[in-house]
C-alpha cells in the first residue's frame, strides 16, 4: 500500500474550503439582493404626505429609496390609482406602507406584483366586501369631532384636532396639522374593498394604543385577521407615524428584511 500523500490531502482540503467559502459568499449576496430597498409611504385622510418626513429621513439615511404619495382624497378609485402610479415608478420590489385610510388604499393597490409586503400603521385593513366606515361600527372610535360638510367633504373640528388626532405631538405641531388639514370626501370611507392584498402578501401592523380616530381594538382585529406581524405602541395617538417615527421606520425595515418569502408570494 502506498503511503498517504499528506501535502496533496492538505491542498485538496484547502481547495474544498475555498469552494465552500465561494458558495457561502454567493448565498449571502443572493440574500442581500432579496432585501427589499424600495419603500412607498401612503398618507391617510385629512393630512398629506409631509407627515412622513421623519420616517423618510430615517429610511433614506439607511439606504432605502423612499417615495411618498400625494393622493387627493377626492375618490377612493382615484387615490388607489395615484398610489399605483408611484408603485409603477419603482425600479424593483417595494414595501407598501399605509397610515389610517391609507391602509384601505394599500389593501387594494397592494395587489400590484411589485409589492412584496404591506405595513399598516394605525390603519384600516378591510376584508372583501367591507368598508372602513362599517368596520368602525364594530369597534367605535373615541372621537366625536368629525364634521360632515354640505359639499360631501369631511374634516375634523379645529378645536378638537389636537386632542383627537395628535395628542402625543407638541401642541404647535398639532395645531398646524389642524389648520392645514385636507378635507376628505366622505365617500372614500364607504368604498367597498375587493380582493384584499393582505390575503396573499405578508403584512406588518402597528397598533397605536391611545388612538382616538381608529379604535385600538379594531386595529388589533385587523392585524390578527391578516396574521400580521403586530407591534403595539404605548401612549401613541393616531399620529403615531410622526410621534414614533423611529419605531415605525424599524417596523418597515423589518418588513423589508423579511421579504425573501414575500418576493416569492408576489411573483415579482
DSSP states of 60-101? HHTT-EEEE----SS-HHHHHHHHHHHHHT-SS-EEEEEETT
Are 95 and 117 contacting, i.e. CB atoms less than 8 angstroms apart?
A: yes
Residue 29 maps to a domain? no
CATH code of the domain covering residue 251: 3.40.50.1820
**Is residue 55 domain-resident?**
yes
Domain membership flag for residue 71: yes
Query: Which pLDDT score is estimated for 260?
Result: 34
Cα–Cα distance, 262 to 268 (Å, whole number): 9
Which pLDDT tens digits describe the chain residue by residue (268 residues)? 444 455 556 555 565 555 544 444 433 333 333 589 999 999 999 999 999 999 999 999 999 999 999 999 999 999 999 999 999 999 999 999 999 999 999 999 999 999 999 999 999 999 999 999 999 999 999 999 999 999 999 999 999 999 999 999 999 999 999 999 999 999 999 999 999 999 999 999 999 999 999 999 999 999 999 999 999 999 999 999 999 999 999 999 999 998 433 333 333 3
Closest residue by Cα to residue 55 from 257, 266, 254, 244: 244
> Is 27 among the domain residues?
no
Tell me the three cell numbers of residue 256. Answer: 423589508
> What is the number of domains present in the chain?
1
**How far apart are alpha carbons 97 and 202 in whole angstroms?**
12
| Long-range contacts (CB closer than 8 Å, 24 or more residues apart) made by 50-59 | 51/99, 51/177, 51/239, 51/241, 51/242, 52/241, 54/242, 54/245, 55/241, 55/245, 55/248, 55/249, 55/252, 58/245, 58/246, 58/249, 59/249, 59/252, 59/253
Look up the domain containing 158 and give its range. 37-266
Amino acid at each position: 500500500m502506498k503511503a498517504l500523500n499528506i501535502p496533496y490531502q492538505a491542498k485538496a482540503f484547502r481547495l474544498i474550503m475555498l469552494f465552500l467559502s465561494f458558495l457561502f459568499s454567493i448565498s449571502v449576496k443572493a440574500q442581500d439582493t432579496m432585501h427589499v430597498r424600495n419603500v412607498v409611504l401612503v398618507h391617510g385622510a385629512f393630512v398629506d404626505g409631509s407627515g412622513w418626513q421623519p420616517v423618510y429621513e430615517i429610511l433614506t439615511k439607511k439606504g432605502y429609496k423612499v417615495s411618498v404619495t400625494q393622493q387627493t382624497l377626492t375618490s377612493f378609485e382615484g387615490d388607489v390609482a395615484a398610489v399605483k402610479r408611484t408603485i409603477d415608478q419603482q425600479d424593483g420590489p417595494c414595501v407598501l406602507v399605509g397610515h389610517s385610510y391609507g391602509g384601505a388604499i394599500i389593501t387594494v393597490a397592494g395587489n400590484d406584483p411589485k409589492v412584496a409586503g404591506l405595513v399598516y400603521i394605525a390603519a384600516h385593513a378591510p376584508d372583501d366586501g367591507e368598508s372602513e366606515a362599517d368596520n368602525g361600527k364594530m369597534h367605535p372610535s373615541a372621537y366625536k369631532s368629525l364634521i360632515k360638510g354640505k359639499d360631501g367633504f369631511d374634516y375634523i373640528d379645529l378645536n378638537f384636532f389636537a386632542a383627537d388626532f395628535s395628542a402625543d405631538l407638541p401642541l404647535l405641531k398639532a395645531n398646524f396639522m389642524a389648520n392645514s388639514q385636507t378635507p376628505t370626501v366622505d365617500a372614500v370611507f364607504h368604498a367597498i374593498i375587493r380582493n384584499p392584498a393582505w390575503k396573499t402578501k405578508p403584512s406588518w401592523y402597528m397598533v397605536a394604543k391611545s388612538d382616538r380616530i381608529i379604535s385600538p381594538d379594531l386595529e388589533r382585529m385587523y392585524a390578527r385577521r391578516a396574521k400580521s406581524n403586530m407591534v403595539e405602541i404605548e401612549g401613541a395617538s393616531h399620529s403615531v407615524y410622526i410621534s414614533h417615527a423611529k419605531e415605525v421606520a424599524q417596523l418597515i425595515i423589518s418588513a423589508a428584511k423579511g421579504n425573501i418569502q414575500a418576493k416569492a408570494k408576489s411573483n415579482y
